[in-house]
Amino acid sequence: MLFQVEMDVHLPHDMPAERADELKRVEKARCQQLMRDGTWRHLWRIAGRYANVSVFDVTSHDALHEILTSLPLFPFMTMKVTALCRHPSSIRDDDR
């Protein structure tokens, strides 16, 4: 099951820089682990914002919820989730 997830990051302005850097470091490691295993299919920065648009490939809604809520930056992000389905004109076999 594919889902588009738009994530907006809102780190508190008074968060110490070392704490923010550490959160970003562990978030990056987790993200790249999920990308390597095929769960986090796409990751794009939204130009001009501390936000991304991502595509996740998961087995269930519950699996997506578990992944998103366990991200290190989850407490500091707002997320918008959109279910995706195959477009009839797509030429990509893995778009499902």
Ligand X SMILES: O=C(O)C[C@H]1C=CC(=O)O1
Q: Which residues bind ligand X (CB under 6 A)?
A: 7, 9, 27-28, 31, 52, 73
Chain residue at closest Cβ approach to ligand X: 52
E-strand spans in the chain? 2-9, 40-45, 51-57, 77-84
Query: In whole angstroms, what is the distance from residue 16 CA to residue 4 CA?
Result: 31
Cα end-to-end span (Å), the chain: 7
Question: Nearer Cβ to ligand X, position 69 or 90?
Answer: 69
The pair of structure tokens assigned to 4 is 């588009």
Query: In whole angstroms, what is the distance from residue 41 CA to residue 3 CA?
Result: 10
Question: Nearer Cβ to ligand X, position 2 or 31?
Answer: 31
- Smallest separation, CB 93 to ligand X (Å): 27
- Smallest separation, CB 94 to ligand X (Å): 22
- Smallest separation, CB 57 to ligand X (Å): 16
Question: Nearer Cβ to ligand X, position 2 or 34?
Answer: 34
